[in-house]
Amino acid sequence: MFQRFYPDHEAESAYGIDYERLYREGYRGVIFDIDNTLVPHGAPADRRAEALFDRLRRLGFQTLLLSNNKEIRVKPFAEAVGSLYVCQAGKPGRRGYAQAMEAMGTAPGNTLFVGDQLFTDVWGARRMKLLTYLVKPIHPKEEIQIVLKRRLEWVVLFFYHRRQNKSSLMQEPVKRQNERKDD
């Protein structure tokens, strides 16, 4: 029932993802949400964000900021980190994600998305068949509509984590059997 909202991966932070491995695996484009994914809500780009985008460029990635915010918020951030952007993207609708890939010259099979919200970021990216990373929000201060969505996200994440634990428990006996065969 909730699977459409499940991320492919979870990460503590957008800054801790192994982008080098992803590049080796063939990914060439990274789409990011901004607020509470890269910086606290409404904050300007900081040195950490600038360093991340510089690192991604050196690896060979195309980057794009995909935001439901207006250009007045998104453009200065994009200029500071040296990234393409799509504002007023209408996430979770498909249009913004399609525009992002077109601008980067990438396709669903070699593009990943990094964001902090299930019902906009992850769901929209999954609808476009992108690899998704859900990161923990950087700062607890959020707009009221996001706070309300977070409560619903907790329910979805409860079932997601329960499913993840079951699948890892199911793999454990197989792992033990293989270890015994090696003895």
Is the Cβ–Cβ distance between 82 and 61 less than 8 Å? Answer: no
**CATH fold of 3-139:** Rossmann fold (3.40.50)
- On the question of a cis peptide bond just before residue 92, with omega within 30 degrees of 0, the verdict is yes
Note the pLDDT of residue 178.
43
Tens digit of each residue's pLDDT (9 = 90 or more) over 40-67: 989 999 999 999 999 999 999 999 999 9
Comparing CA positions, the residue from 57, 67, 64 lying closest to residue 91 is 67
Structure tokens of 87? 């504002």
Tens digit of each residue's pLDDT (9 = 90 or more) over 158-180: 766 677 765 554 444 444 444 43
Is the Cβ–Cβ distance between 95 and 75 less than 8 Å? Answer: no
Q: Is residue 132 over pLDDT 90?
A: yes
At 181, the pLDDT band (50, 70, 90 cuts) reads very low
pTM (2 d.p.): 0.79
Secondary element (H or E) of residue 50 = helix 47-59
